[in-house]
Amino acid sequence: MMNLSQQDWKTQLDRDPDAVILDVRTAEECSEGYIPKAINIDIYKGQGFIYAVDELDKSKNYYVYCKAGGRSAQACQIMNQMGFENTYNLDGGFMNWKGDVAFSNED
């Protein structure tokens, strides 16, 4: 796992053809906006989170975020233990995000 600043996370994400954005917040939090193209898997689902993450392609690079950076750091550690080699935590989380924001009715 690597903690990346907001700018580094976005710069690296924009240049990465194997990037997958993973939002580990609750559905309620996501309803307030999310980073475009993010997959939402709520880390509070416990074993459900593990099962859902286990379905993901381990060869991809995962850019993970939550509201402030704590849950996403935990998610990255769990994913690394499950065999994911490239996980990047968004330092400061969504509340400090300055990039594009999408809302569920825009998909």
Q: What is the pLDDT of residue 107?
A: 44
CA distance 3 to 73: 8
The rounded distance, in Å, linking the Cα atoms of 79 and 62 is 9
What domains appear along the chain, each with residue ranges and CATH number? 2-97 (3.40.250.10)
pTM of the model: 0.95
DSSP category for residue 102: B
Q: What is the pLDDT along the chain (107 residues), one digit of tens a residue?
A: 999 999 999 999 999 999 999 999 999 999 999 999 999 999 999 999 999 999 999 999 999 999 999 999 999 999 999 999 999 999 999 999 999 999 976 54
DSSP 32-86: T-B-TTPEE--GGGTHHHHHHHHTS-TTSEEEEE-SSSHHHHHHHHHHHHTT---
Note the pLDDT of residue 101.
96
